[in-house]
Amino acid sequence: MSLQQELGALAVDIAQEAGALARRRREQGVSIAASKSALADIVTEADREVENLIRDRIAAARPGDGFLGEESAADEGSTGITWVVDPIDGTVNYAYGIPSYAVSIAAVSGRPEPRTWQALAGVVHAPALGELFHVVRGEGAWVGGQRLQVNGVLNPAGSLLGTGFGYDPATHAAQLELLGRVMPLARDIRRIGAASLDLAYVAAGRLDGYFERGLHPWDHAAGVLLVEEAGGVAAGAPGGAPTREMTIAGNAELVARLSAIIFADTHEDNATTPAAG
Ligand code: IPD
Ligand code: CA
């Protein structure tokens, strides 16, 4: 077994255990532990408990690997491999009882910085939906036993596009303005509420494309590899990797079209100011 296959298998095992815990806690009732970057940016007790479980399992299986998770302090590690983890992506869905939430786990090599790292393996597991998307670099992206493929052809009716909005109300006007400029490309818009699932759905051809400002590395680490291994492209600014500033995903032609709109010169100020939350 190659290193990335080993990492992928471990990620799947841990995501299944973590997903079962998240689901069990959801059934028992959710308690909000705190607000973070904005009042709407919540963390539940379950987010913390699930992250601790994932962190403990990784440390037991691969001591020395680094860790970058949403809910606890980062650790650079010593092996050159870092685990990038969102214990519950879609926390607001989780808190409201909407089943679109996911455990997202990726193993990356290189510094834990999305501009330069190389993702080796990943999992996006939505326990309440009964779906587990998994990927190993060079071996394709899968949901269960079904291989994923992004939609390769632009639909004449327009593209079904996913997006999201930051938690900070101060970012909403610019994000709505951007959405207005993108709308001519869209047949319709979906706001699923979990970036990792948006990206998994692009990989699966359930969305044609996706764009969002303000994502953190743990929101997109596994999902971006799913898209790439499903034959798609994930980008940030033109020619760059996804960043906090922008994540765009889809087939190459759609990403180029979205990028041209999002980074149009006349709107440079809106496009280059990182969003909070
Ligand atoms: C959020 C979700 C949401 C996206 C936000 C993310 P969280 O992650 O992925 O869809 O719009 O930008 O922060 O807070 O639920 O883990
Ligand atoms: Ca989260």
Residues 214-259: tens digit of each pLDDT: 999 999 999 999 999 999 999 999 989 999 999 999 999 999 999 9
Please name the residue whose Cα sits nearest to atom 13 of ligand 1: 215
User: Residue whose CA is closest, atom 15 of ligand 1?
Assistant: 90
Cα 1 to middle of ligand 1, angstroms: 34
Q: pLDDT of 64-115, one tens digit each? A: 999 999 988 899 999 999 999 999 999 999 999 999 999 999 999 988 888 8
What's the Rg (C-alpha) of the chain?
Answer: 17
Structure confidence at residue 44 as a pLDDT band (50, 70, 90): confident
User: Do 275 and 176 contact (CB within 8 A), yes or no?
Assistant: no
Tell me what pLDDT residue 110 has. Answer: 86
Which two three-digit tokens encode residue 195? Answer: 């970036």
Which residues does ligand 1 sit against, CB inside 6 Å? Answer: 70, 86, 89-92, 164, 166, 193-195, 212, 214-215, 219
CB 49 within 8 Å of CB 71: no
What is the four-CA torsion angle of 242, 248, 249, 254, rounded to 10 degrees? -140
109 C-alpha vs ligand 2 centroid, how far in Å? 22
What is the pLDDT confidence band of residue 188, given thresholds at 50, 70 and 90? very high
Ligand 1, residues 104, 190, 215, 246: which to mutate, most atoms within 8 A of Cβ? 215
How open is the CA angle 19-25-26, to the nearest 5 degrees? 90
Ligand 1 centroid – CA 22 distance (Å): 16
Residue to substitute in 219, 220, 247 for testing ligand 1 pocket (most ligand atoms within 8 angstroms of CB): 219
The contacts of residue 28 (CB under 8 Å, 6+ apart) are none
At 265 the pLDDT is: 65
Structure confidence at residue 274 (pLDDT): 45
Ligand number nearest CA of 91 is 1
State which fold the 159-266 domain adopts: D-Maltodextrin-Binding Protein; domain 2 (3.40.190)
Closest Cα to atom 2 of ligand 1: 194
Domain ranges of the chain: 3-147, 159-266
- Residue 31 CA: distances (Å) to CA of 22, 45, 70: 12, 6, 18
Looking at per-residue pLDDT, the higher value among 194 and 267 belongs to 194
Q: Which residues lie below 8 Å from residue 93, measured CB to CB, with a gap of 6+?
A: 99, 100, 101, 193, 194
| 3-147: CATH architecture | 2-Layer Sandwich (3.30)
Rounded CA-CA distance 124/197 in Å is 7
Pick the atom of ligand 1 nearest to 91's CA. Answer: 15
| β strands within the chain, DSSP E | 32-35, 42-44, 66-69, 81-89, 102-109, 118-126, 131-136, 141-143, 146-147, 159-163, 186-190, 209-212, 233-235, 247-250
CA dist 10 and 27 (Å) reads 26
- Least-confidence region, from 7-11, 40-44, 169-173, 201-205: 40-44
**Contacts with 238 (C-beta within 8 Å, 6 or more apart), sequence order:** 259, 263
Q: pLDDT category, 275, cuts 50, 70, 90? A: very low
Percent of the chain scoring above 70 in pLDDT: 95
Q: How far is the CA of 192 from the centre of ligand 1 (A)?
A: 10
The one-character DSSP state at 245 is: S
**Is residue 16 pLDDT above 80, yes or no?**
yes
pLDDT at 194 over 70: yes
Q: Whose CA is nearest to atom 11 of ligand 1?
A: 164
Q: What is the DSSP letter of 233?
A: E
Q: Is the pTM of this model over 0.85?
A: yes
Inter-CA distances, 249 with 16, 140, 151, 224, Å: 26, 17, 11, 8
* d(CA 139, ligand 1 centre) in Å: 28
